[in-house]
Structure 1
Amino acid sequence: MKYVVKLGGAALEDEKLLHLCGKAIFDLVSDGNQVAVVHGGGVQLTKTLAQMGKKSEFISGLRVTDAETRDAALMVLAGRVNKSLVAALGKHGQAAMGLSGGDGHVFRARKKKTTPDLGFVGEIAAADPRWLDAIWMMGAVPVISSIALGFDGEYYNINADEMAAACAICTKADALVFLTDVPGVKGADGNVMRWLSLKEIPALERAMVVSGGMLPKLNACKDALTHGVKRVRILPAGAAASLPDLLSSRVEDGTEVMVA
């Protein structure tokens, strides 16, 4: 089976959570699965920008990215965060290969057209999974930072949830799992929705029940499900140990997003 696991938020900041996630990914590979990890690093990037004297601004959950912010994203996401994840997997004896979406032209980007303009924020325009297949053939885990190279030669900051969906689609993954720092998608009553169909999402958005960073996440869920990915789940990072059981048994944590 093929899994794409997106890591972000507290899972990248908390050493115990990172250890837990690394162990779950190691267990998945040990069971004979192929796993790709896609990661963000927004918290770390915001901290670095603050140290540079730059204030972070977000619109609909997406970071406004000028040239200086883009260069910082390259340094933080494709550098420190990426290599820390490779090291976390290595602690469990799992070989991993860190790369950005621009390496090997695995993912190509185009500028995301928005009003107002977000700067060097991109969306995935093309994907070539051959390098990921080669890494899997060697028994390793590709660890991909959410940076992609445009056809114009510029690097673009990609929302990590969107990158994870694109990765799941191009590799024909069986499951896409978002390991997050929230318990799942909460309904109007404040309780986690164990099951969420795509047709329910627009009403949640209109009522502002979901907003901010959850918006691109749910859009990524929709993109994956409508392009052939069989299972999509938003799972709290603290429940990462249930990853190996996701496709074979009932998992109570998080939110399962379904077509209908």
Structure 2
Amino acid sequence: MKFVVKLGGAALENKELLYTCGKAIAELVKDGNQVAVVHGGGVQLTRTLAQMGKKSEFISGLRVTDAETRDAALMVLAGRVNKALVAALGTHGQAAVGLSGGDGHVFRARKKKTTPDLGFVGEIAAADPRWLDAIWKMGAVPVISSIALGFDGEYYNINADEMASACAVCTLADALVFLTDVPGVKGADGNVLRWLTLAQIPTLEKQAVISGGMLPKLHACRDALMHGVKRVRILPAEAAALLPDICSTRVNDGTEVMVA
């Protein structure tokens, strides 16, 4: 089976969590699965920008990205965070190849048209999974940072959830799993929804039950499901050990997002 695993939040900050996530991904590969990892690094980027004297601004969960912020994103996401994930997988004996969406033109971007303008924030315009297939054939895990190259020659900051969805779609993945620092999607009563259908999302959004960073995440879930990905789950990083069982047994952690 093919899995796309998106890592973000606390999973990238906490060494113990990163170790657990790396072990679960390595076990997926040992079981004969092909796994691609897509990662963000917003916390690390925000911290680096603060050290540079820049304040981070977000609109609907997306970072406003001027040229300086974009260059910092290249340095942090495609650099330090990406290589830390490669190292975490290597700890468990799993070979991994780190790359950005721009490498090999795996993902091409176009500027995201928004009001107000978000700067160098992009959306995926095209994908070519041949390099990912080549890495898989060598028994390795592609580790992809959420940066993509535009047709205009500029690098664009891509929301990592959107990148993970695009990766799952272009590779015809069987499952897309978001390992996050939240227990799942919470309903109006504050309890985690174990199952969430696409039809429920607009109402929860209108009622502001879901907001901020969860908005692009659920939009990414919808896009993946509408383009052929069979299973989509938002799973707390603490439960990463359940990854090898995600498609074969009943998993009660996190939120399963379904078409209906």
Residue in 1 that maps onto 2:168: 168
Matched pairs, number: 260
Runs of 5+ in structure 2 lacking a partner? none
Matched with 1:258 is 258
1:181-238 deviation per Cα after TM superposition (whole angstroms, max 9, x unaligned): 0000000000000000000000000000000000000000000000000000000000
Q: Which amino acid aligns with 2:144?
A: I
1:4 aligns with 2:34: no
User: Structure 1: any 5+ residue segments left out of the alignment?
Assistant: none
CA–CA separation in structure 1 for the residues paired with 2:42 and 2:146? 10
Q: CA shift at 1:3, angstroms?
A: 0.1
CA deviation after TM superposition for structure 1 residue 120, in Å? 0.0
Structure 2: distance between partners of 1:243 and 1:55: 36
Structure-2 residue corresponding to 1:94: 94
CA-atom RMSD in angstroms: 0.1
TM-fit CA distance, 1:252: 0.6
List structure 1 segments (4+ residues) > 3 angstroms apart after TM superposition.
none
Deviations 1:82-120 (A, max 9, x none): 000000000000000000000000000000000000000
1:23 partnered with 2:23: yes
Shift of 1:15: 0.3
The secondary structure found in structure 2 opposite 1:162 is: helix
Q: Counterpart of 1:6 in 2: which secondary structure?
A: strand
Q: Determine the structure 1 residue equivalent to 2:228.
A: 228
d(CA) in 2 for partners of 1:16, 1:59: 31
TM-score calculated relative to the size of structure 1: 1.00
Deviations 1:110-156 (A, max 9, x none): 00000000000000000000000000000000000000000000000
Counterpart CA distance in 2 for 1:150 and 1:26 is 32
TM-score when normalising by structure 2: 1.00
- Percent identity over the alignment is 87
CA distance in 2, matches of 1:158, 1:245: 30
Q: Distance in 1 between matches of 2:15 and 2:128?
A: 32
Pairing of 1:178-257 with structure 2 (within 5 A): 178-257=178-257
Q: Distance in 2 between matches of 1:246 and 1:111?
A: 35
The superposition leaves residues 10-62 of structure 1 with CA deviations (integer Å, 9 ceiling, x where unpaired) of 00000000000000000000000000000000000000000000000000000
User: Shift of the alpha carbon at 1:160?
Assistant: 0.0
